[in-house]
Structure 1
Amino acid sequence: MSTNSSPSASEQLCYQNMTGSCAKAPYSPGPRLILYTLFSLGAVLAVFGNLLVVISILHFKQLHSPTNFLIASLACADFLVGVTVMPFSMVRSVEGCWYFGPSFCTFHTCCDVAFCYSSLFHLCFISIDRYIAVTEPLVYPTKFTVSVSGTCIGISWILPLVYSGAVFYTGAYDDGLEELSRAVNCVGGCQTVVNQNWVLIDFLSFFIPTLVMIILYSNIFLVARQQAKKIEDTGGKIELSSASYKSRVAKRERKAAKTLGITVVAFMISWLPYSIDSLIDAYMGFITPAYIYEICCWCAYYNSAMNPLIYALFYPWFRKALKIIMSGWVFEDSSPTMNLFSEQM
């Protein structure tokens, strides 16, 4: 975890006339403008990109499916990161100061952790959904229903919110590190010093679901290869209508699993540096330089902006939904029933 060093006489302070104020970050106007532009772009993409995903799925009836409801809920978590976390972290990262008060600092940290774990839980449930869809495509609709999806969404929100609230609002996160916490939190700072026990729990909470997703997606792609080979082997034979339908359903589910697999890989790449840095930092005496910590944080935050870009690249239905929304056709009475797919499965 980064720490605020005590300011020297030549440094600008967050609060000039206050004893114990943190020192402002020593960025000149040029780099400061570049950083604000870079971080603002991430926040705007996270807010508007995920808002478009939610609108698309909820508005168009053709997209009302258990998987898409999970995707919409995941987009809500990423949207909230863009609204409640990224703008304030941007000021902290560029200015080196926290101007929003200690109470909001706790709320901000709580939201940061809660929405991260909410995204992780959503992705884990999506991987389970895709595993069932690919391995058992014909019985999948009876196994992963809308009610099951709703239960998964509820768990993905309630557990992270309860966990983060319990840890940060009770003060359990810095048990045994009270003196260090007071030392690093100068006036105008928002640094959270987490003890080794909670850091280890956080890391395992990230690592175990990630491992589950890796195992499931590995099995998914093994099954997909077997299915593709089987279809190729029978390609020259006369197919019965039921076999043809099964092959088309399997192909559709494999394609969806591939796209969502890319989303999972992007999440892991984005959050792994922060998770590893937090673990090392806690056991090595919080030695991470401030700029390294901020880079790790923003790699994680930018994940919230990446998912809509992934959907736009790999989901034709999302591109068509965007076109309808941006053109204003979404306000027509018939828009909820518009066909977003090039062909019906």
Structure 2
Amino acid sequence: MAISPITIRILLGLLYGCVSVVITCGNLLVIISITYFKQLHTATNSLVLSLAVADLLVGIVICPFSMAQTESSCWYYESLLCKVKISFDIALNNSSILHLCCISVDRYYAVCQPLRYKTKINVDVATIMILVSWSVSIMTGIGVMIAGFQKKKCVGSCPVHIQIISTFVSTASFYFPASVMLSIYLKIFQVAQKQAHSIQNTVSQSTKSGVTVSKMERKATKTLATVMGVFLTCWTPFFLCITFQPVSNYAIPVSVIETFSWLGRSNSMLNPFVYAFFYSWFRSAFRMIISGKIFQGDFANSKLH
């Protein structure tokens, strides 16, 4: 039995609505945790906080716009609504990706140059990273909106229909940051392995020591594989599509690109889990917030475990 288009729209609307809610709630937990608990007031967490703000805006601004597309039968490339939607979409998603890139730089100094970490990554440096990430993202979004769209054509979505812009946006928003992140995390993994082997060679060769080193290596592998795996899985299909779309004479269906764009947005939903749930103090903060304990007294100075 064939499913009617209206039923498909309703199901997609429900799915997108759930994604939007999870993105919003997950990132609100991160924002409240870092803002409320003084133990989490660090340079690294200021980057995580800014990332959560970008991801939160994806959930409350971009997702509703995209949900509206599932109910609309016609969008025009030249329409103001279409331009605004694309501008916000590019700016916020680009900001999220650039923040992930900045966090990878922070992790590089923390693992590879721990003695220089506090001098290289402090509040001022983190603030500069945040300002650069937002500035570049906003300028890119505004640039695309000013450039406009070529065809006054009624479609079920409003994709960027300019070859140069598609290539530029893909490179600036994904390929370059992804290359930087991949290089940095590979370096971090190599250094982590060397540190683990160094500990194994200097500490007594007991069974307990061997188990500890093995756990360190497995944790480093798991963490880095998860970070890069989630990021690449979410965003690679979408950016490959918009890169090859002009070359293929726009043969890729709009529905396919829109599906992959939602897969990319799901990275904003997964970031709180990837960057927060790995750390026990964030899990403790989340439990206190969800249980309402923070409303029962002043727990800002609580020691999170």
User: TM-score, normalising length from structure 1?
Assistant: 0.77
Q: Does residue 204 of structure 2 align to residue 236 of structure 1? A: yes
Task: Report the counterpart of residue 70 of structure 2 in structure 1.
Answer: 93
Give 1:312 deviation, angstroms: 5.6
Contact 2:33 2:286 (8 Å CA) reproduced: yes
The answer to whether the 8 Å contact 1:60/1:335 transfers is: yes
Equivalent of 1:222, from 183, 190, 204?
Answer: 190
State the SS of the aligned residue for 2:251. coil
Which has more helix, going by share of residues?
A: 2
Relative to structure 1, the CA distance from residue 94 to residue 233 in structure 2 (aligned partners, 3 Å threshold; closer, same or farther) is: farther
How many Å separate the matches in 2 of 1:87 and 1:44?
A: 10
Asked whether the 8 Å contact 1:93–1:294 carries over to 2, the reply is no
Partners of 1:94 and 1:308 in 2: CA distance: 29
Aligned to 1:207: 175
> Residue deviations 1:93-135, cap 9 Å, x none?
3554459x93232221111000111111111111111111101
Q: 1:80 to 1:146 in 2, by over 3 A?
A: same
**Counterpart in 2 of 1:192?**
159
Counterpart Cα distance in 2 of 1:259 and 1:323 = 22
What's 1:247 paired with? none
Aligned CA distance change for structure 1 residues 46 and 265 (closer, same or farther; 3 Å): same
Unaligned stretches of 5+ in structure 1?
A: 1-24, 238-250
Q: What's the secondary structure of 2:114's corresponding residue?
A: coil
Aligned residues: 292
Amino acid at match of 2:293: W
1:257 shift after superposition: 9.6
Report the aligned-residue RMSD: 2.7
Partner of residue 129 from structure 1, selected from 106, 130, 154: 106
Displacement of 1:167 in angstroms is 2.2
> What is the correspondence of 1:172-187 to structure 2 with a 5 Å cutoff?
174=149, 178=150, 181-182=151-152, 184-185=153-154
List aligned pairs for 1:74-85, cutoff 5 A. Answer: 74-85=51-62
Preserved CA contact (<8 Å) 2:30 2:276? no
Shift of 1:258: 6.1
1:219-273 deviation line (CA, Å, top 9, x unaligned): 1000000001111222218xxxxxxxxxxxxx7xx96896476334312211111
Measured after TM superposition, the shift of residue 58 of structure 1 is 1.3
- Name the TM-score, length of structure 2 as normaliser: 0.87
Q: Specify the SS of the correspondent of 2:182.
A: helix
State the identity as a percent.
37
What does residue 19 of structure 1 align with? none
State the partner residue of 1:269. 233
